[in-house]
Structure 1
Amino acid sequence: MSSNDNTARSMPDVASQARAQVAGALDWVGMAGIEAPVLVADADGQIQRMAARVDAQVNLHRADARGIHMSRLYLMVDQALSAQTLTPRMLRQLLRGFLDSHADLSDRARLRIRYDHLVRRAALKSDNSGWRTYPVTLTAHMQGQEFTLELSTEVTYSSTCPASAALSRQMIQQQFASDFAEGQALDREAILAWLGSEQGIVATPHAQRSIASLRLQLGPGFEFHIEELLDQVEQSLGTPVQTAVKREDEQAFALANGGNLMFCEDAARRIQQTLGQDERIVDFAVRVEHQESLHPHDAVAYASKGVDGGLGADAF
């Protein structure tokens, strides 16, 4: 036995040797905001290393115990996240390790990992591309042999108001009627020039940056493919925000918005339908927020899968 081992054994361990000053079981004890890397596979199977913040906790069901072994949790988090790709299987094994190392103190464990997921996105028309980051939170629980995993993220998109678009079209019609008198012979070149002028297009619909917040409970036995999920939601919305933008890209984005008018209710239902068709998702809750350019307040809508006792709209 080394001298270091002897020194460690001789050091006082107040947490394990002393009784609690005031007896009582505790719901959760552990650490919040541990700085750690995560290894995440992208859509091409390449492994990315990203910075994360990790919460690692167990309950303390022994009312007389002074505390838990926080260093054990930290070392297990460090060893697992530094060396293994982030998967449900790895998270399950990590939580199992939490409980095994606290067998006399705890029967529940949880882990929360927060990081920004990087995705390279191509421009709509040009040959350019750029990076988008999506905030991801993974929350894993274990009680006995029961393991649950929840994924939260956000998708940012553009929403153009259908009511505003209809009112704008009406104003353009009225301006046309004013500039081209009834019975007047219409000249094609004159009309083309009018359509390209500020005098002709007198009104435009309002659009706003919008955010879809998602909470998903993943089914057992499935891997989570974050980029596939993000792609599905963005495709259902039709107008995700862009990265690199040249004029041809901006024009394509304007065309997409013009052909994709939606209220917040429309956006919530589109996502609800998309997530409801994915067998890997046991339950979900959605909150969409259209950050109004017309009002000083936001328009919001909520949707869920409708599982009894599930996430529901109150998840946000």
Structure 2
Amino acid sequence: MNAISLQDVAAQVSGQALPLAWVGMQGIAVPVLIDGQCLSARADAGVSLDDGAARGIHMSRLYLALEALESTPLSIGLLRATLEQFLSTHRRLSRSASLNLHTELLIKRSALVSPLSGWKGYPVSIKAHLESDMFHVELKIEIPYSSTCPCSAALARQLIQQQFVDDFANKTLEHSEVLAWLGSSKGIVATPHSQRSTAILNLRLNTGASELPWVTLINEAEAALGTAVQTAVKRADEQAFALANGQNLMFCEDAARRLSKALRQSSHVSAFDVRVVHAESLHAHDAVAQSRWNWERP
């Protein structure tokens, strides 16, 4: 039986002769190696279709180029090599290539006081783009933290003061009595509201960067905020967390400014777009603030 050659329909001439900015695939399941971990990821891979007369690109060539991610630790060099392969397999068709990866980075975190530790997940994404030998990489990191409202804290303190006046007016103060009062429910008649919050960092790395400084950037951001959410805890850790919240009262505007200052001082970042979301426990809506620096598109 004679073999029949399979037609390459994508190689046919388009009847519309119109270039396209991006053609590819999204949501491709792929494993990636980050900091010694093999993580499940989703990839968006594509190229421009600059030859308007061509009907389409060769998507299978993009898919096969992703195989290198399975066995090679993810790095800036690997990202560039992958994009170069995208273009080399689409000569005369494409002048630019992009690769986006989405995964969750796992970092083991120690408790604040006790010897306990546990794993914390950070959703992360990488955007890599190559065009006319211009290559840039952007990182997206989502960082959860706790935020306690300064206004609510002030109102709670005022209520505690009023309760103290009601209970001790015209009385001689005894140290032991006041100490007992402070440890009772009356001594904390009101509490400020806190919320689990999220910082969404979109970061452009410095030109010439050779590494993907995930952990360093996360550590810098969490240090600036001062109230990173915890994993395994004992009561001593929970108490230390309450103390950290009490000493780091912040509106969403405060959080955005803290992160902005820290990222401007980072040796890894040339531009950023930071968004913080405080999932309000008082309101049914969120409080949001955003800060940008050098964020013009290249």
| Match of residue 26 from structure 2 | 32
Deviation at 1:296, TM superposition (A): 1.1
Paired-residue identity, %:
53
Amino acid at match of 1:23: A
* DSSP 3-state at the match of 1:10: coil
Residues 125-144 of structure 1: pairs in structure 2 closer than 5 A: 125-144=113-132
1:21 is aligned to 2:15? yes
| Match of residue 207 from structure 1 | 194
CA distance in structure 1 between the aligned counterparts of 2:181 and 2:153, rounded to whole angstroms: 19
| Match of residue 65 from structure 1 | 54
Deviations 1:35-79 (A, max 9, x none): 1100011xxxxx11000000110011111111111111111112x
Deviation at 1:310, TM superposition (A): 4.4
Call closer, same or farther: CA 1:166–1:35 in 2, change over 3 Å.
same
| Match of residue 191 from structure 1 | 178
Moved over 3 A (4+): none
| Match of residue 3 from structure 1 | none
Contact kept in structure 2, 1:283 and 1:310, CA below 8 Å? no
Aligned counterpart in structure 2 of residue 153 of structure 1, from 115, 122, 141: 141
Deviations 1:189-232 (A, max 9, x none): 11111111112221111111111111001112221210111011
CA distance in structure 2 between the aligned counterparts of 1:70 and 1:93, rounded to whole angstroms: 17
CA distance in structure 1 between the aligned counterparts of 2:289 and 2:7, rounded to whole angstroms: 56
Call closer, same or farther: CA 1:110–1:294 in 2, change over 3 Å.
same
Amino acid at match of 1:14: V
CA distance in structure 2 between the aligned counterparts of 1:165 and 1:278, rounded to whole angstroms: 32
Deviation at 1:308, TM superposition (A): 6.7
Aligned counterpart in structure 2 of residue 12 of structure 1, from 7, 14, 35: 7
Call closer, same or farther: CA 1:132–1:308 in 2, change over 3 Å.
closer
Contact kept in structure 2, 1:208 and 1:292, CA below 8 Å? yes
CA RMSD of aligned residues (A): 1.6
Q: Normalising by structure 1, what TM-score? A: 0.91
Gaps of 5+ in 1: 1-5, 42-46, 312-316
Residues 1-316 of structure 1: pairs in structure 2 closer than 5 A: 10-16=5-11, 18-41=12-35, 47-78=36-67, 80-182=68-170, 184-222=171-209, 223-305=211-293, 307=294, 309-310=296-297
CA distance in structure 1 between the aligned counterparts of 2:155 and 2:116, rounded to whole angstroms: 35
Deviation at 1:134, TM superposition (A): 0.5
CA distance in structure 2 between the aligned counterparts of 1:178 and 1:13, rounded to whole angstroms: 86
Call closer, same or farther: CA 1:63–1:82 in 2, change over 3 Å.
same
